[in-house]
Amino acid sequence: MDDPQERFTNLYDRHYRSVLGYALLRAERAMAEDLASETFLVAWRRLDDLPDPPLPWLLGVTRNLLRNQRVRRLRSEELAARLAEMSSFAEGDVADRVTDRHSALAVLAGMRDKDVEAVVLASWYGLTPAEAAQVAGCTARTYSVRLHRARRRLERALNPALSITLQEQA
């Protein structure tokens, strides 16, 4: 595919929703849409330099744009609301999971942004540790440690009995 416009169109069609979804985790809808647009503007300018696969790079650009534009971090309640909007359940009776869902969202809302980001990049986007590390702006080893710790915190918060047992063993 030699035509730059066609390459860019394919890139945009394949990855716009993922970039917008990532931005929605961190910003209000209008700002997230602007960030996604700016991300693809950067991609257009650097079209010949895009790595393969491009998604981690695009998410990294979005992350950097967010960092540059934000005055202060979103409150945890706003994050929980966005997660609730974006989350969906697999097959099964949703009513059976409402309590677990509220608990999980409350726990995620109370977690540090870096912990939430580590879990989201692995779980929602299915990125490898190397790809997720590129997005997070750290090494793959640092990301793996961050993900491990975030999962432990999440598990402890969701299962208070486990937390008590771990404290007793210490």
Domain boundaries of the chain, sorted by first residue: 1-72, 78-170
Helix (H) or strand (E) holding 60: helix 55-69
> Hunting for tokens 């790079």 — which residue is that?
57
Average pLDDT over residues 74-80: 47
> Peptide bond preceding 53: is omega within 30 degrees of 0, i.e. cis?
yes
Q: If pLDDT is split at 50, 70 and 90, which confidence band does 119 have?
A: confident
- State what percent of residues in the chain have pLDDT above 90: 43
- Backbone φ/ψ region at 137: left (φ over 0), alpha (ψ -120 to 50), beta: left
Point out the least confidently predicted range of 54-63, 83-92, 145-154: 83-92
Look at 148 and 162; give whichever has higher pLDDT: 148
Report the pLDDT value the prediction gives residue 99, as an integer from 0 to 100.
Answer: 63
Asked if the domains 1-72 and 78-170 are classified in one and the same CATH topology, the answer is: no
Look at 60 and 84; give whichever has higher pLDDT: 60
Report the pLDDT value the prediction gives residue 62, as an integer from 0 to 100.
Answer: 95
Report the pLDDT value the prediction gives residue 12, as an integer from 0 to 100.
Answer: 96
| Contact predicate 48/5, CB 8 Å | no
pLDDT for 12-59, tens place per residue?
999 999 999 999 998 889 989 999 999 999 999 999 999 999 999 999
Query: From the CB of residue 63, how many other CB atoms can be counted at a distance below 10 Å?
Result: 20
CATH T-level fold of 78-170: Arc Repressor Mutant, subunit A (1.10.10)
Average pLDDT over residues 142-160: 86
Mean pLDDT of the chain: 80
- Backbone φ/ψ region at 20: left (φ over 0), alpha (ψ -120 to 50), beta: alpha
Report the pLDDT value the prediction gives residue 74, as an integer from 0 to 100.
Answer: 40
Q: For domain 1-72, which CATH number applies: 3.90.1150.10, 3.40.50.300, 3.40.50.1820, 1.10.1740.10?
A: 1.10.1740.10
Q: Quote the pTM value.
A: 0.55
Q: Which residues lie below 8 Å from residue 151, measured CB to CB, with a gap of 6+?
A: 119
